[in-house]
Structure 1
Amino acid sequence: MNPIERALGILLLLTGGKLVPATVLAERFQVSLRTIYRDIDRLIALGVPVDAARGAEGGYRLASGYLQPPVALTRNETAALLAAMALVRASRTVPLAADLASAEQKLLASLPKNVHGLFKQAERIVGIEPIPADIFHSGTKAEPTGDWQQALDGFMAGILESRRVRFEHVNPSRETVKAHDVEPRGVLFDRDLWYLAGRCVDTDLVKVYRADRVRNLEISGLFFRPDREFSIQSLLGGVWLSRAMRRWEQDEQIAKILITPRQAQKLGADWYYRHAVFTPAKDGRVLISIPSTARTRILPLVRWLGPGAELIGPEGLRAELARELAELAAVYWDGRDLDRPA
C-alpha cells in the first residue's frame, strides 16, 4: 500500500466520529507509529481538519461536519451560481480571495460531471461589464494592491475569529496617517470599492474605513463579544456616508456654495453630495455645506454646476476659481459677437 492509499484509508477510518488511537491505525495498516504520525501530519498539511486528543484514551478523528453529502444542484441552479461567481470575479478585490478560489475548486469537484462543462465555459457564457471610472468624484477609483487585499482578508478573519484588528488609515485630504484599534463588524462593497465597518475602540462608534486606504493591518490577540444586533444592512443606502459626513463636519473645514433650487435638486440625487447639508438662503437659493475644502473636489463641482452656483468660501478657493474663470473668459470673449462684461 502506497502513502496515498494509506492516507485515504486513514481518512475513511476517522469519519466515524470516534477517536481512533494511533496504535490501532498502525496495526490496521501494518506500519510503525512514526509512519502514522507522518501520515496524519500530511493530512493536516493538505487542509484536512484532524482533531487530536492526548492521553491513554486519546487518538484522532475528523472535525465534525468536514465531510458533507454530495451537492445536488439542478442545471438552472448551477447556471445561477455561475453568474454569481462571474459577478464576484468582476470585483478586482474580494474578501479571502485565495480561500474563494479553493472553495470553488472543491465545489466543482463535488458537482456532477454533466455540469462541469458549464463552469469551464463560464467566461464564454457570462460577461460582467467593469464599473467605469467616476471622473467627477475624484478619489473614487483605486487600483488593487497587496495592502488592500491584506486589509480585506485580515478584517474578515477578525470578524470570523471575533478578534480586534489594528491598522493605519491614510487620509489623503489631510495627508495624515492615523492608527486605529477596531472590533470588526462587517464589510460592504460600493462603487467598485470595499469598505470595512467596525467599532472604533477609542470612540466607541461604528466607523467605516476605505479598505484601499488601510495599511499594515494586524489581527490582535484581544477577543471581543460580537454585537448580535448589528447588521451591515443598517449601513447601506448611503447611511454610512451620511454619518461620516456629520463627523467630518466637526473635524474638517467646510466649503459653502450657493446654488439654485434646480441645482440643489440635481445634487440631491447624487450618491455623495446628497448627504451634504442643504440650507435655504434668503434670496431663494440654497446653501450647500460640504465637509471638504480639497480643490480637486470643490472646484470641479462648481465648474460642473455652472451659472447660478457661487462659491462662498473658503476665500482661498474662491480667489483661485475667480482667476481660472478670468483666464477662460479671456479665451472665449473675442469682442465681436458679444459684449465683454465689465
Structure 2
Amino acid sequence: MNPIERALGILLLLTGGKLVPATVLAERFQVSHRTIYRDIDRLIALGVPVDAERGAEGGYRLASGYLQPPVALSRDETAALLAAMALVRSSRTVPLANDLASAEKKLLATLPKTVHGLLKEADKIVGIEPIPPDIFHAGTKAEPTEDWQRALDGFMAGILDGKRVRFDHVNPSRNTAKAHDVEPYGVMFDRDLWYLAGRCVDTQTVKVYRADRVRDLEISGMFFRADKSFSIKTLLGGAWLSQAMRRWEQEEEIAKILITAQQAKKLSADWYYRHAVFTPAGDGKILLSIPSTDRARILPLVRWLGPGAELLSPDGLRAEFAAELAALTTLYGNEASAG
C-alpha cells in the first residue's frame, strides 16, 4: 500500500467521530507509529482538520462537520442557489470568497449537460444592479482590499471554530488604530459595506466593526461559548447604528446644528442622521446633535440643509463655514451688481 492509499484509508477510518489511537492505525496498516505520525502530518498539510488528543485514551479524529452527507438538489434548486450567489458576488467583497467559488464549481458539476453551459455563465442571465454611490455620505464608500477580504474570512472562521479573534480597528477621523479582542457572533451587509458583530471582551458588550477598517485580524486559541440568544436580525434596520451613536456620544466631540421642523422631518428619513439626537429648541426650531466633528461630514450636511440651518458648534467649523459663505456672497453679489 502506497502512502496515498494509506492516507485515504486513515481518512476513512477517522470519519466515525470517535478517537482512533495511533496504535490501532499502525496495526491496521502494518506500519510503524512513526509512519502513522507522518501520514497524519501529511493530511493536516493538505488542509484536512485532524484533531489530536494525547494521553492513554487519546488518538485522532476528523473535526466535526468536515465531511457532510451528500445533498441531492433538483435542477431548479441548483439554479436558485447559483442566482443567489450572483447576488452575493455583486457586493464585491464576500465572506469566504474562495470557498464560495469552489462551492459554485461543485454545484455546476451536479447539473445535467442540457443546462450546464447556460448556468456556467450565470452572470449572462442574472443581472444585479450595484448600489450607486452615496455622494451625501461619501465616508461610507470603500473599495475592496486584501485586508477587507482577510477580515471577513478570518471573522467567519472564528464564528465557525468558536474562537476569539484579535484585530486593530482604524478610526479615520482620529487616524488611530485600536486593538480589539472579540468573540465573533455574525456579519451583515449594509449599503455596500460589510460589518462584523461580536462581543468585545474588554467591555463585555456587543459591538459592530466596519470590515474595511479592520487590520491584522488573527484567530486566537481562546474558545468561547456563543450566545444562543444572539441574532444578527436584532442589529438590522439601523439598530446597530443607533447603538453605536449612543456610544459615540460618550467618546466623540458633538456637532450641533439648529434646524427647522421641516428640515428635521427630512433628516429623520435619512438612514444615518435619523439616529442622531433631535431636541426641541423653542420657536419651532430643533437642535440636531451629531457625535462627529469631521468637516467632510458636517459641512456638506449644513450646505444641503440650506437656509434655516445654523451650525452652532464646533467653533472652528462654524468659522470655516462663515468664511465659505462670505466668499459665495462676494461672488454672487458681484454678479448681481453687474446684472
Same fold (TM over 0.5): yes
**Equivalent runs, 1:1-342 vs 2, <5 Å:** 6=5, 10=9, 14=13, 17=16, 21-25=25-29, 45-47=45-47, 70-333=70-333, 334-336=335-337
Partner of 1:177: helix, strand, or coil? strand
Q: State the shift of 1:69 in Å.
A: 5.3
Q: State the shift of 1:8 in Å.
A: 10
Q: State the shift of 1:239 in Å.
A: 0.6
Q: State the shift of 1:234 in Å.
A: 0.7
- Deviates further, 293-302 or 88-97: 88-97
Partner of 2:143: helix, strand, or coil? coil
The answer to whether the 8 Å contact 1:293/1:314 transfers is: yes
The answer to whether the 8 Å contact 1:96/1:156 transfers is: yes
TM-score, normalised to structure 1's length?
0.84
The answer to whether the 8 Å contact 1:163/1:219 transfers is: yes
Q: State the shift of 1:294 in Å.
A: 0.8
Equivalent-residue separation in structure 1 for 2:325 and 2:96 (angstroms): 49
Equivalent-residue separation in structure 2 for 1:314 and 1:252 (angstroms): 12
Equivalent-residue separation in structure 2 for 1:218 and 1:60 (angstroms): 26
Equivalent-residue separation in structure 1 for 2:252 and 2:58 (angstroms): 62
TM-score, normalised to structure 2's length?
0.84
Equivalent-residue separation in structure 1 for 2:162 and 2:50 (angstroms): 23
Q: State the shift of 1:206 in Å.
A: 0.9
* 1:55–1:25 distance in 2 versus 1, CA, 3 Å: farther
- Counterpart AA for 2:120: K
Partner of 2:230: helix, strand, or coil? coil
The answer to whether the 8 Å contact 1:53/1:60 transfers is: yes
- Deviates further, 280-289 or 45-54: 45-54
Q: State the shift of 1:337 in Å.
A: 8.5
Q: State the shift of 1:202 in Å.
A: 1.5
Q: State the shift of 1:292 in Å.
A: 0.7
Equivalent-residue separation in structure 2 for 1:54 and 1:138 (angstroms): 55
- Deviates further, 37-46 or 304-313: 37-46
- Counterpart AA for 1:136: F
Partner of 2:139: helix, strand, or coil? coil
Q: Could you give the per-residue CA deviations for residues 55-109 of structure 1, whole angstroms, max 9, x where no partner exists?
A: 9999988777666554332332222112101011112211122222222223333
Equivalent-residue separation in structure 2 for 1:171 and 1:55 (angstroms): 47
- Deviates further, 13-22 or 143-152: 13-22
Equivalent-residue separation in structure 2 for 1:116 and 1:15 (angstroms): 35
Q: State the shift of 1:191 in Å.
A: 0.8
**Which has more radius of gyration?**
1
Q: Could you give the per-residue CA deviations for residues 230-266 of structure 1, whole angstroms, max 9, x where no partner exists?
A: 1111111101100110111111111111112111111
Partner of 1:168: helix, strand, or coil? strand
Equivalent-residue separation in structure 1 for 2:42 and 2:194 (angstroms): 36
In structure 2, list runs of 5 or more residues that go unmatched: none
* 1:40–1:319 distance in 2 versus 1, CA, 3 Å: closer
* 1:67–1:194 distance in 2 versus 1, CA, 3 Å: closer
- Counterpart AA for 1:335: A
Q: Could you give the per-residue CA deviations for residues 107-162 of structure 1, whole angstroms, max 9, x where no partner exists?
A: 33344444423431212111212222211113101111221122111212222222
* 1:64–1:304 distance in 2 versus 1, CA, 3 Å: closer
| Runs of 4+ residues deviating >6 angstroms | 1-4, 31-41, 50-65
* 1:53–1:302 distance in 2 versus 1, CA, 3 Å: closer
Equivalent-residue separation in structure 2 for 1:244 and 1:178 (angstroms): 16
Equivalent-residue separation in structure 2 for 1:67 and 1:166 (angstroms): 28
- Counterpart AA for 1:320: E
- Counterpart AA for 2:229: E
Q: Could you give the per-residue CA deviations for residues 28-70 of structure 1, whole angstroms, max 9, x where no partner exists?
A: xxx9999998777666555556678999999988777666554
Percent of residue pairs identical: 77
The answer to whether the 8 Å contact 1:71/1:111 transfers is: no
- Counterpart AA for 1:71: V
* 1:163–1:336 distance in 2 versus 1, CA, 3 Å: same
* 1:261–1:113 distance in 2 versus 1, CA, 3 Å: same
The answer to whether the 8 Å contact 1:72/1:111 transfers is: no
The answer to whether the 8 Å contact 2:170/2:178 transfers is: yes
Q: State the shift of 1:324 in Å.
A: 0.5
The answer to whether the 8 Å contact 1:21/1:59 transfers is: no
Equivalent-residue separation in structure 2 for 1:272 and 1:326 (angstroms): 30
Q: How many residues align?
A: 333
